[in-house]
């Protein structure tokens, strides 16, 4: 069958879709001009009639499908379609002609085309209805997306490998830290001096707080940030189990908002170590003898981009001459350093309307840093 003849240039603008009503600015086009545009288009262009017969192809079609033009004109479009897709193709052509408007073909489905040697390749196809004197025809523009697909698969594979690797790294770091924790535990159980045992136990708590960050990272598979509320919840369980001796008379509770608060990984460990130091101190110092009491960890959002983290107890309170800048012991020397790493500000207080007690509050930003690509 021959290509449509005597096509009225106006017809190019009078499709049924409102989207091609650009009559005002589009150039008027005679048939020669139309054929030139099609011929030199960078993608394969195939025009078929309502019965599925090819009436026009361009140079790119010959290259892409490896057919000389003469072998295509007058043939059924099935020649370009894999056998398994032919029935569906005929059906959807009828559907298209029933409501002709420019649109991508097979949205959401993977489309394939067939070369002269029977081999297939993935394609993207745009469909345009064309009013001609011989009825509505379909002008299909066909792009070979083999390269794009391949590049996408390479990227997806690389991303998957990286995720698996990151997961593995966090898993191993966590395991190594747990080995260190067990060693400290063994050492602590072998020493007589209660002071040394306590030092070893406190070090063990610090290592466990660090291991927990890595454990949560691989459990959650989110390697860019940490849900601070969940982390503090798990950390308080760890700390409580470390002080099971005092857990009968001392309760530890966590107050956290319903909405998640996220923290970047760089600051998750200092934050965990800070809470570990402060809670350990409260267990150790706030309730001497058989005194009962409560330790509270409170996480609050302040506005949209700040967080207030408080550890308070209702124990005996800080010593009267307490001066954090003059402290010689490790725990409270670490605290200001950790607060610095959080880029936060520390507020320390002793005593409140309910009695003595101690409280330590850190206010810091929880705006996650935006990483620039390496």
Residue 89 and residue 77 in contact, taking contact as beta carbons nearer than 8 Å: yes
* Contacts to ligand ADP from residues 342-361, by CB under 6 A: 358
CA 227/CA 217 separation, integer angstroms: 10
Binding span for ligand ADP by CB under 6 A among 68-76, 243-251, 312-320, 365-373? 312-320
Provide CB contacts within 8 A for 144, sequence distance 6+. Answer: 44, 64, 113, 121, 122, 123
Which conformational region is residue 166 in: left (phi greater than 0), alpha (psi within -120 to 50 degrees), or beta?
alpha
Residue 105 structure tokens: 């073909």
Q: What's the min distance (Å) between Cβ of 307 and ligand ADP?
A: 21
3-state helix, strand, coil in the chain (%, to 5): 45, 25, 30
Site string for ligand ADP, 24-63 (x = CB under 6 A): ----------------------------------------
**Closest residue to ligand ADP: CB criterion:** 331
Q: How many CA atoms lie within 13 A of 256 on its CB side?
A: 17
Residue with smaller CB distance to Mg ion, 328 or 371 = 328
Query: In terms of CB distance, is 120 or 198 closer to Mg ion?
Result: 198
Q: Which is nearer to ligand ADP, 76 or 203 (CB)?
A: 203
Residue ranges of alpha helices (H) inside the chain are 31-39, 59-65, 86-98, 146-190, 194-220, 228-242, 265-281, 330-341
263 binds, among Mg ion, ligand ADP, none (CB under 5 to 8 A by kind): none
Closer residue to Mg ion, CB minimum distance, 217 or 316: 316
Closest CA to 280 of 255, 249, 309, 246: 246
Rounded to whole angstroms, the Cα distance separating 139 from 47 reads 4
Least Å distance, CB 195 to Mg ion, is 12
Q: Which is nearer to Mg ion, 52 or 331 (CB)?
A: 331
CA distance 325 to 336: 9
Q: Which residue pairs, CB below 8 angstroms and at least 24 apart, start in 201-207? A: 201/242, 202/280, 202/331, 204/242, 205/238, 205/239, 205/242, 205/276, 205/280, 206/273, 206/276, 206/277, 207/177, 207/180, 207/181
132 binds, among ligand ADP, Mg ion, none (CB under 5 to 8 A by kind): none
Which option in Mg ion, ligand ADP, none does residue 285 bind, with CB closer than 5 to 8 A by kind?
ligand ADP
Q: Stretches 184-192, 229-237, 325-333, 363-371: which one binds Mg ion (CB under 5 A)?
A: 325-333
Minimum gap (Å) between residue 277 Cβ and Mg ion: 6
Closer to ligand ADP at the Cβ: 234 or 359?
A: 359
| Residues 213 and 265 sit within 8 Å (Cβ to Cβ) | yes
Segment interacting with Mg ion, rule: CB under 5 A, options 68-76, 242-250, 278-286, 298-306: 278-286
> In sequence order, which residues have a C-beta less than 8 Å from that of residue 213 and are 6 or more positions away?
226, 231, 265, 268, 269, 272
Nearer Cβ to ligand ADP (22/326)? 326
User: Of 42 and 288, which has the nearer Cβ to ligand ADP?
Assistant: 288
- The C-alpha atoms of residue 133 and residue 53 are separated, in whole angstroms, by 16
Backbone angles phi, psi at 317, to 5 degrees: 90, 165
Residue 358 interacting entry, from ligand ADP, Mg ion, none, C-beta within 5 to 8 Å by type: ligand ADP
Task: Name the minimum Å distance from CB 161 to ligand ADP.
Answer: 44
Span of 23-31, 44-52, 88-96, 316-324 interacting with ligand ADP by CB under 6 A:
316-324
Residues 267-286: x where in contact with ligand ADP by CB under 6 A, - otherwise, as a string: --------------xx-xxx
281 binds Mg ion (CB under 5 A): yes
Kindly list the residues in this chain that would bind ligand ADP in the complex (CB under 6 A): 281-282, 284-286, 313, 315-316, 318-319, 327, 329, 331-332, 358
Name the residues that contact Mg ion, by CB under 5 A.
281, 331
């Amino acid at each position: 069958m021959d290509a449509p003849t005597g096509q009225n240039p106006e017809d190019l603008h009078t499709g049924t879709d409102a989207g091609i009503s650009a009559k005002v600015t589009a150039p008027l086009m005679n048939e020669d001009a139309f054929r030139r545009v099609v011929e030199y288009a960078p993608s394969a262009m195939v025009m078929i009639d309502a019965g599925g017969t090819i009436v026009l192809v361009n140079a790119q079609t010959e290259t892409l499908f490896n057919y000389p033009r003469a072998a295509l004109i007058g043939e059924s479009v099935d020649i370009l379609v894999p056998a398994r897709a032919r029935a569906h193709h005929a059906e959807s052509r009828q559907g298209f002609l029933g409501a002709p408007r420019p649109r991508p073909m097979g949205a959401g489905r993977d489309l394939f085309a067939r070369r002269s040697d029977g081999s297939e390749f993935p394609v993207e196809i745009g469909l345009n209805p064309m009013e001609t004197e011989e009825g509505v025809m379909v002008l299909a523009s066909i792009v070979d997306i083999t390269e794009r697909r391949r590049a996408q698969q390479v990227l997806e594979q690389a991303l998957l490998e990286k995720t698996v690797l990151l997961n593995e790294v966090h898993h191993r770091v966590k395991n190594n830290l747990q080995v260190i924790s067990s060693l400290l535990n063994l050492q602590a159980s072998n020493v007589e001096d209660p002071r040394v045992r306590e030092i070893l136990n406190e070090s063990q708590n610090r290592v466990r707080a660090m291991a927990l960050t890595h454990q949560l990272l691989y459990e959650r598979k989110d390697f860019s940030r940490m849900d601070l509320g969940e982390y503090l919840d798990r950390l308080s369980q760890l700390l409580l189990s470390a002080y099971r001796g005092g857990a009968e008379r001392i309760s530890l509770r966590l107050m956290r908002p319903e909405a998640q608060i996220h923290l970047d990984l760089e600051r998750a460990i200092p934050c965990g170590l800070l809470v570990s130091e402060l809670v350990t101190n409260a267990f150790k110092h706030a309730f001497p003898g058989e005194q009962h009491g409560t330790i509270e960890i409170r996480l609050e959002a302040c506005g949209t981009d700040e967080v207030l983290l408080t550890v308070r107890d209702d124990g005996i309170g800080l010593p009267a001459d307490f001066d954090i800048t003059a402290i010689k012991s490790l725990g409270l020397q670490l605290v200001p350093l950790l607060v610095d790493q959080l880029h936060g500000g520390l507020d320390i207080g002793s005593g409140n309307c309910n009695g003595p007690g101690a409280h330590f509050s850190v206010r810091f930003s929880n705006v996650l840093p935006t990483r620039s690509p390496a």
